[in-house]
Amino acid sequence: MGEIRIIGDLNGLGASLLSIMEQNIDNPERMKKIRRISGNLVATEKNIGVAITIIFDKGNISLKDGSVEKPSAALWTDFDTLAAYSCGELNPIVGVLKGRIKVRGNLLKLLKMVTIVRSD
């Protein structure tokens, strides 16, 4: 249904999330919601500082290693928490409230954007 454009080489974080993202863009219901999103999300694994940027442009999605200077939204978490969220074991609001996920920027936009890396 869609395609994710890879910009440059991906780090391990980006590579591990790519397969979930590809499944989500093949899901018509999920893609319907994703098409409405514009902006970028930076996700950083806080223990080692590895970051990826997911760029949303009304249905066009790009993934790149590293972070952009002024993201629409950003999150910091450890890999285990990100994995728990990605497989549907952790609600992102609960993660934020318990301090497992730190966020910055437009929270509403962040909640819409992170659906791309969640399989459920």
Return the CATH number at 44: 3.30.1050.10
Averaged pLDDT of the chain: 91
Which pLDDT belongs to residue 34? 87
Which pLDDT belongs to residue 59? 85
Residues, the chain, total?
120
Of 1 and 101, the one with more pLDDT: 101
Q: Is residue 50 part of a domain?
A: yes
Q: Is residue 65 part of a domain?
A: yes
Which pLDDT belongs to residue 1? 54
Helix (H, G, I), strand (E, B) or coil at 101: strand
Q: Is residue 19 part of a domain?
A: yes
Average pLDDT over residues 17-33: 88
Containing structural domain, residue 69: 4-115
The domain total for the chain is 1
What global pTM score does this model have?
0.91
Q: Is residue 120 part of a domain?
A: no
Q: Is residue 47 part of a domain?
A: yes
What percent of the chain clears pLDDT 90, i.e. is strictly above it? 66
Average pLDDT over residues 48-54: 95
Which pLDDT belongs to residue 119? 83
Token representation of residue 111: 């909640």
Q: Is residue 62 part of a domain?
A: yes
First to last CA, the chain: 18
Which pLDDT belongs to residue 104? 96
Average pLDDT over residues 90-118: 92
